Amino acid sequence: MPAELLDGVAVARTIRDEVARDVLVQKARGVIPGLAVVLVGEDAASSVYVRNKGRACEEAGMHSVTIRMPVTTTQGELLAVVDQLNADPAIHGMLVQMPLPVQCNADEVIRRIDPAKDVDGFHPINAGKLIIGEKDGFAPCTPAGVMELLRRYEVKTAGADVVIIGRSNIVGKPMASLLIQPGIDATVTICHSRTRDLITHTRRADILIAAIGRAKFVTADMVKPGATVIDVGINRVDEPRAKNGYVLAGDVDFTTVSEVAGKITPVPGGVGPLTIAMLLRSTLVAASRVVVA
């Protein structure tokens, strides 16, 4: 029997509706949640993503600011914009879209963002809070979205063996930190390029999370029958017959794995839509912490 689809579009829509409702609560007390996004250069994928973020903010009734800077922007110029946004009381959440041009140091930029406005959850202070289980920080939006998907589809995590393929600061590491927190209680293994005999790990996973950026890497023989498979990857695969010359594929070979897994996320339409939804929620949370005189 084919696996049950975990519909990220539907869950994201529900979260965005919840955010829009709670934005009205903030407005009633005189606070309009504001999100600023800084885009440096003309990366096509980043431009589309930033545009979608702006549209989502407006639909939720939030204040949205997009700052576009040329690819020649210096580190000093970018840090000056970050400082301005840190000081702007109308901005409660902010992020600098990655990747940055080579002359800009991403780590320094991330550290310059006020942790209270770091709704992307990449500042070391927020990363540290996530690890030790403090609730007043922000988790990266993609792992937070995965957690929402698991919760709303009632996927059991307590005592579950979870295997994460990928150890990035964006997904793999924070995903593991979220899953081991009290109340979630999963047992987590992180696999990566140096992992020996990867299939021995993935075949025992009750929940398998793929986040490595390699199209259709996870095949049916790597998956435990009945497992929940979360595909975080999104890759362009050449397809001459497609309108744009390519199709989108995840890190999981969906066609074969969906015949083995119990639950699975599609690509597109799985984890992706949840990232923006969780960004809006984090911005709302940041705004809710503002003290109104």
38-75 pLDDT, tens digit each: 999 988 778 888 889 999 999 999 999 999 999 999 99
The confidence score (pLDDT) of residue 45 equals 79
Q: What pLDDT sits at residue 264?
A: 98
- Which of the residues 22, 120, 206, 231 is marked catalytic? 120
Active site residue 156: no
CB 267 within 8 A of CB 138: no
Choosing from 97, 117, 231, 251, the catalytic residue is 97
pLDDT computed for residue 120 by the predictor: 96
Contact between 123 and 110 (Cβ < 8 Å): yes
| Residue ranges of domains in the chain | 28-115, 141-271
Q: Among the options 53, 117, 173, 263, which is catalytic?
A: 53
Residue 44's pLDDT is what? 78
Mark whether 97 is an active-site residue.
yes
Q: Does domain 28-115 have CATH number 1.10.10.10?
A: no
Ranges under pLDDT 50 in the chain: none
Reply yes or no on whether 120 is catalytic. yes
Q: What is the CA radius of gyration of the chain?
A: 19
Asked whether this chain's domains 28-115 and 141-271 adopt the same fold, the reply is yes
Domain 141-271 has CATH 3.40.50.720: yes
Q: Which of 233, 229, 196, 200 is nearest to 214 (CA)?
A: 233
Q: Report the candidate in 19, 46, 21 with the shortest Cα–Cα distance to residue 35.
A: 19
* Two tokens, residue 70: 């040329």
Q: Is the dihedral of CA 190, 196, 199, 205 positive or negative?
A: negative
DSSP state at residue 207:
E
